[in-house]
Amino acid sequence: METPGQLETGLEGFRFWPGALGPLDQTCLLAQVRAAVAQAPFYRPETPGGRPFSVLMTNCGPLGWVSDRTGYRYQPLHPLTGRPWPPIPPLLLALWDRLTGLESPPDACLVNLYRGPARMGLHQDRDEADLTAPVLSVSLGDTAMFRIGPAAGGATRVVRLASGDVCALTGPARLARHGIDRTLPATSRLLTGGGRLNLTLRRAR
């Protein structure tokens, strides 16, 4: 695994590469994500309790994470179009290779879109079959206030995730509680009209 930068979260297994993607790579990746979104449009999922997410979502790859009144799961088809998710953008596969050093590629890429007051409450990611595989997160667009704390609960801290930043959640941090408090408007000009995209690469099965 490429050596990550230093960042004190007090959480072992939280790896952070600020500015891993330069402006050119960000523009390239955004074009690849836009092409995928043309095939698999963003939609607003509902929690199992029937509340709409403020974040819009879509996926790439063999499997996509979905939520509705029946629960959370990974599935091969877009819930609205009924079509398979488009392939994971090549730039992301190369990044997974470079930063995780893992032989097995990701089989799911969740794409989150934050606009205006969109946020994501504290949660754990545990819908994946193998919870020892890392999650790799790529941020594009406006800066996010990302909150993270230990799996067992207790003190959390906030890390700013800016456009081009990449982090990996491995080891003890894989089950960390985390969320997005808010995004900071007009902190990036990458997305026309503002907002933030987050791409998470995962091994779901």
- What are 91's two structure tokens? 């730039």
- CB nearer to ligand MD3: give 40 or 180: 180
Look up residue 77 and give its amino acid. L
Question: Which residues, including other chains, have CB under 8 Å from residue 188's CB and lie 6 or more apart?
Answer: 140, 141, 142, 143, 162, 163, 194, 196
* Structure tokens, 35: 């092409």
- Which one of ligand MD3, Fe ion, none is in contact with 169 (Cβ closer than 5 to 8 A by kind)? ligand MD3
Dig out the tokens for 173 from the structure: 């941090």
For the bound state, the minimum distance from the C-beta of residue 23 to Fe ion, rounded and expressed in Å, comes to 27
Choose from ligand MD3, Fe ion, none: what does 180 bind? Cβ within 5-8 Å by kind: ligand MD3
Binding site for ligand MD3 (CB under 6 A): 110, 112, 120, 125, 135, 137, 144, 146, 167, 169, 173-174, 176, 178, 180, 198, 200
Residue nearest to ligand MD3 (CB): 198
Contacts (CB under 5 A) with Fe ion, residues 113-172: 125
Nearest CB to Fe ion, comparing residues 84 and 171: 171
**Ranges assigned E (strand) in the chain:** 14-17, 56-60, 64-68, 71-75, 108-114, 120-123, 135-141, 144-149, 157-161, 166-169, 177-183, 196-202
Residue ranges in contact with Fe ion by CB under 5 A: 125
